[in-house]
Amino acid sequence: MEKNQVTAVIVGAGHRALIYADVSLKIPDKLRIVGVADKNPDRLASTAQRYGISEEYRFDSADSLARREKIADIVINGTMDRQHVPTSIPLINRGYGMLLEKPFATDTSELADLYVSAQKNKSKVFVCHVLRYSSFYSEIKRLVASGTLGKILTVSMSEDVSLRHMVVSYVRGKWNNEDTGTPILLAKSCHDIDIMMWLMAPEYPVSVFSSGSDMRFSPENAPDGAGTRCLSDCPIESSCPFSAAKHYVHYANPRDFYVWGGKELSDEEKLRSLADDNDYGRCVWRCGHTGVDHQTVCVTFESGATGTFTLSAGAPCDERRIKIVGTQGTLTGVFEENSITVRTNINERPDKYDERVIQCGVSAECKHGGGDEALVMDFCDYFLYGKHSLSCSELSESLLGHLVVFAAERSRKTGRTVNL
């Protein structure tokens, strides 16, 4: 009898892992959550309750899960960036398939170790490059693959990270320090670099140059009189645009789950927490931020085609844009508008061109433009039946984007072009 349901264990029951796992609540015939591993007792208990997981299949770590006999088909690995490979390899060796959050590795050595382990165990590993599955980028991939634009000459992409997103995640948050987390190009924009590699496939990138710096959040940019914590020792807090009270109490923030960990608190309790020891109450200029707030990556492909990506952090709103120029036409689009404009040459009339605007259907506000749920469903079909979709983000097809990011970071730090 053909198996039609995938069983899964959550490892690292954070925000992203639960988004993927929640597909089981909507489509239980396709995915069922049977276990969870998390070092936080409260999160372990709440996740177990959410999916009806018995006591027997609750684990306090990925290691304790890996020591047990296999209890499910796959693992949904939502641990932090630097834990991905150390937690994944023992579980892959145990025989699990895996849905692995990006970035799936933090350097080339980890990448190689993970790939070798997956190949050795013939494990089906999907990387959570959810933008491939959004209606917007899926349509662009289909247009490129169809030859509508001809041979690609240039791909230009940009990502604006909103001020609120930047401050909560990459200045005050878990990814603020490259020594303990990962650089923003890897943590955030590996999505975009992956899209570039995916659109250009099967072409191979041959060289990378990158530059960038922190012009806003470095300590020397702190205004006169700034304290170390907004609500305890800062006389300019009320006029500061980065006031923790403004960002996390007075105005709704879509990323409050980072700040409060899912706890229901009164405004008074939140203010006390920010004044005391909550990391999100620190001054943005004095919280150990070591990353960049802007960066540009230039990629040369084997055909001579070029790709550029520009990250700008601290913009008024989140926005991704793309422009592709080919020998037969151009494509432009804005992810948040879910709209693509295609212009193609008319060979018989050099003075005219065809233009069409494509509305992709699914709102970009729908969790990566519908990509989260589509990714999980595609992985289930790949795991069960070996179906290989156009968006397939299997590990071997997701390596190039990370390799380009690693090369870009080496280039940024050395000022030199890196050959691949």
Q: Compute φ and ψ for 103, nearest 5 degrees.
A: -70, 140
Return the pLDDT at 420.
95
Percent of the residues in the chain that have a pLDDT greater than 70, as a whole number = 98
Q: Which of 190, 91, 132, 200 is nearest to 379 (CA)?
A: 132
Task: Give SS3 for 303.
Answer: coil
DSSP at 15: H
Return the pLDDT at 257.
86
Computed from CA positions of residues 224, 228, 234, 239, in that sequence, does the dihedral angle turn out positive or negative?
Answer: positive
Q: What pTM was estimated for this model as a whole?
A: 0.94
CATH number of 6-128: 3.40.50.720
Residue 56 is which amino acid?
Answer: E
DSSP at 250: I
Return the pLDDT at 23.
96
How far are the Cα atoms of 194, 293, 368, 377, 418 from residue 131, in angstroms, in the given order?
9, 22, 6, 14, 26
Return the pLDDT at 1.
45
Rounded Cα gap, residues 125 and 281, in angstroms: 38
Domain ranges of the chain: 6-128, 132-218+289-367+395-419, 223-281
pLDDT in tens, the chain (420 residues): 468 999 999 999 998 999 999 999 999 999 999 999 999 999 999 999 999 999 999 999 999 999 999 999 999 999 999 999 999 999 999 999 999 999 999 999 999 999 999 999 999 999 999 999 999 999 999 999 999 999 999 999 999 999 999 999 999 998 998 877 899 999 999 999 999 999 999 999 999 999 999 999 989 999 999 999 999 999 999 999 999 999 999 998 888 888 998 788 999 999 999 999 999 999 999 999 999 999 999 999 999 999 999 999 989 999 999 999 999 999 999 999 999 999 998 887 887 889 999 998 765 455 567 889 999 999 999 999 999 999 999 999 999 999 999 999 999 999 999 999
DSSP at 74: E
DSSP at 282: B
For the stretch 337-355, pLDDT in tens is: 999 999 998 887 887 889 9
Return the pLDDT at 303.
97
Q: Cβ distance 309 to 196 under 8 Å?
A: yes
Rounded Cα gap, residues 136 and 134, in angstroms: 5
Residue 340 is which amino acid?
Answer: I
Residue 172 is which amino acid?
Answer: R
How far are the Cα atoms of 65, 73, 326 from residue 155, in angstroms, in the given order?
43, 38, 9
Angle at 75 between CA 69 and CA 76, to 5 degrees: 155
Q: Which CATH architecture has domain 132-218+289-367+395-419?
A: 2-Layer Sandwich (3.30)
Q: Compute φ and ψ for 376, nearest 5 degrees.
A: -60, -45
For the stretch 239-264, pLDDT in tens is: 999 999 999 999 988 888 889 987 88
Dmax over Cα atoms in the chain, in whole Å?
71
For the stretch 304-338, pLDDT in tens is: 999 999 999 989 999 999 999 999 999 999 999 99
Torsion of CA 105, 108, 111, 115, to 10 degrees: 170
